[in-house]
Chains A and B, each alone.
Chain A
Amino acid sequence: MDELESSPPASPDRIAGLVREHYAFVWRLLRRLGIGEGDADDAAQRVFLTAAERLGGVEKGRERAFLYGVALNVGARARRSVGRRREEPFESAGEREAPEPNGEQLLERRQARALLDRLLDEMPEDLRVVFVLFELEELSTRQIAELCEIPVGTAASRLRRARDDFEERVARAEARRRSTGGER
């Protein structure tokens, strides 16, 4: 890290490119790692401000892994300091998203995300990270291992446990939904 801190500044084009290319990835990662929607933009901004200071020392092609590390730190700090403001499915619906297909579908999607976040919140952190990267960001096990700096075998085993864990939680949520007549 010292090496990065004393690294030369990155070019403005590279910094702007970094934001454009990876903003959605960072934002989504922060969201699924427990940052509330209202805080995700601020947290993402913090990630890029931090990243911009050190980007000069990051090898080309390694930006995503680097951002991932910064995002994990920023996310953990944000969760510790603010705590998660859990959103109810109806909260600010339609404030940010354009009225896409129709209101009902949008609402359903928001409800699905709220439930997803709840289930992810309950997962152990190490499993959750691997699960989010594989299932939502569609990284391969190998890429996840690289990003998390763990052996591929460890990544694969965490993923296996994470998927089992998630399926169990989904099954329980589904059973609860049935028992309460469709409520999520």
Chain B
Amino acid sequence: MTDPERFSRRSTGLAAELLRAGADDQPGPDGMQQTLVALGFSGVVLSSAGVAGAASVGSAPLTSAVSASAATSGLTTVGAIKSASATLVIKWVGIGLVGGVGLASVASVAARPSPKSSAVDHAPPSTAQVNRAAVTPRRPESRPAVADSPAPQLVASAVPSALHAVAVAVESRATNSELEVGELLAAEVAYVDRARALLAAGQSSQGLSLLAGYEQKFRGARLLPEVLFLQLEAYERSGQSNEARNAAQRLVADFPKSPHAGRARKLLAR
């Protein structure tokens, strides 16, 4: 069966004009980004060129700055996102994240010399690089206090410079002042991203050490499902099967609808 020629392919006529206009209609970047945030991914819609821009220009747009910290987060608690109200709360938290990280990074960047560009600054994020940050809808309204315990030493080489700048700025504020929920979430994302970067760089003990301190540092622990999953993976990789099982058990028990619970169940079934 041959399809007819589409109206939009005609060179003239109102129908062609209308349909071409309709086909050109594109969503703005915010919608996709907010959807990713609502799903527990913290973004990566904007090009990474925006990261470099945000890192070197103090007055860079907030949305560009967001991608600096968002560029390495991800993961989701989709299973827990059931109701419209949960969706709205999470969306709100996501918007808070955008604003919080943006402000923090712009402020920190303005006070710092421009970080040198790294390969990560220029490479577009691949699917494999889409790191994850879970937003746990169980406690979205909580405004947890932040403990003052210092984070384990970060090995600078493990984290891209722009991300590192944002993480340090946000975290130092997190430990020193009252933060808005969005800012706090941004700090959590930055913290977990540091751990992830360390693990990815093969520095398991430092990464695991950060993860172990997460709950103490952020009492709201909204990224706990992701932290447990990272622990599970890291322990598995390093052959510490008991610890991996413990993390899996907790993940399944506390977050049974998390997308990671499936993997945890598999591990427990072995």
Contact = CB atoms under 8 A, between A and B. Distances in A.
B205 to A, nearest CB: 25
Interface stretch (B27-35, B108-116, B139-147, B153-161): B27-35
Nearest to A46: B87
Interface of B: 1, 3-4, 6-8, 13-15, 17-28, 30-32, 34-36, 38-41, 45, 74-76, 78-79, 81-82, 84, 87, 91, 127-128, 130, 132, 257-262
B31 A41 contact: yes
Interface residues of A, number: 53
Interface in A134-161: 134-136, 138, 140-142, 152, 156, 159-160
B36 A32 contact: no
A124 interface: no
Contacts, number: 150
Contact of B261 (A9, A19, A142): A9
B1 A156 contact: yes
Interface in A151-184: 152, 156, 159-160, 163, 166-167, 170, 173-174
B3 A141 contact: yes
B78 A44 contact: no
Given A28-B25, A135-B8, A170-B14, 12 more contacts: A15-B78, A19-B32, A19-B35, A23-B31, A24-B27, A45-B35, A49-B38, A49-B39, A113-B22, A135-B22, A140-B3, A142-B1
A9 B22 contact: no
Given A13-B130, A20-B32, A135 B87 contact: no
Interface in A44-85: 44-46, 48-49, 52-53, 56
Contact of B259 (A15, A20, A170): A15
B27 A109 contact: no
B223 to A, nearest CB: 13
A128 interface: no
B113 to A, nearest CB: 31
A86 to B, nearest CB: 15
Contacts of A8: 262
Contact of A12 (B20, B24, B25, B132): B132
Nearest to A153: B1
B24 A109 contact: yes
13 contacts: A12-B76, A12-B259, A16-B36, A16-B41, A19-B41, A20-B45, A24-B27, A27-B26, A40-B31, A41-B35, A49-B35, A136-B23, A138-B23
A123 interface: no
Nearest to B79: A9
Contacts of A170: 13-15, 18
